[in-house]
Chains A and B, each alone.
Chain A
């Protein structure tokens, strides 16, 4: 069984300040973890993924996330927020391997960026 908890439903930051979106997961086996972003009226787009390689994962648009097994966390960060980062972000967990396809999505965190 697997689950994911996004600790904040809404985060608001000023443009140019750091972004932190928090995610905790639960998984019986070796997990794969993702962050997806959804802009208004758009489909989800992959930001980055962790699949048991380096624990610090770099994604698109300056985002990165660190897999911390001891804390069962996979928080998403960005050093400096841009107005275009305003969107909803989803943390996703699944099992690593060819037989798995069930992705468990978090409830999402809506990021607002204040000019």
Chain B
């Protein structure tokens, strides 16, 4: 199994530009998470999908952020317009079932730099 695949690995963009991060979860997993990691705030849950449906998006910072999961094998996180304070590492993770005691499988992350 290839694991959770994220793209791109690195993204450098200018303030005001649209940024789209992509994630392919492990086949058969029905829970998908987007996290943001910064030095100041650590790991924060942005949004959680179960069976492709957004269950909890309370962690999305503001309306500039949106996430979709059109099918079981693909999800996107979009930032429009981007701002320098969005610079962080964004992780996608999936798990086989809904449940807090389930193991999460993380992708390698997307390092986003907004200039």
Contact = CB atoms under 8 A, between A and B. Distances in A.
Nearest to A107: B42
Q: How large is the interface on B (under 10, 10 to 19, 20 to 34, 35 or more residues)?
A: 20 to 34
A107 B42 CA distance: 6
Interface of A: 32, 34, 36, 41-46, 49, 51, 90, 94-103, 105-108
Interface of B: 4, 31, 33, 42-43, 45, 48, 50, 55-56, 91, 93, 97-101, 103-104, 106-109
B57 to A, nearest CB: 13
6 contacts: A43-B4, A90-B43, A94-B101, A96-B101, A99-B99, A103-B104
Nearest to B6: A43
B2 to A, nearest CB: 13
B48 A105 contact: no
A101 B56 contact: yes
A44 B104 contact: yes
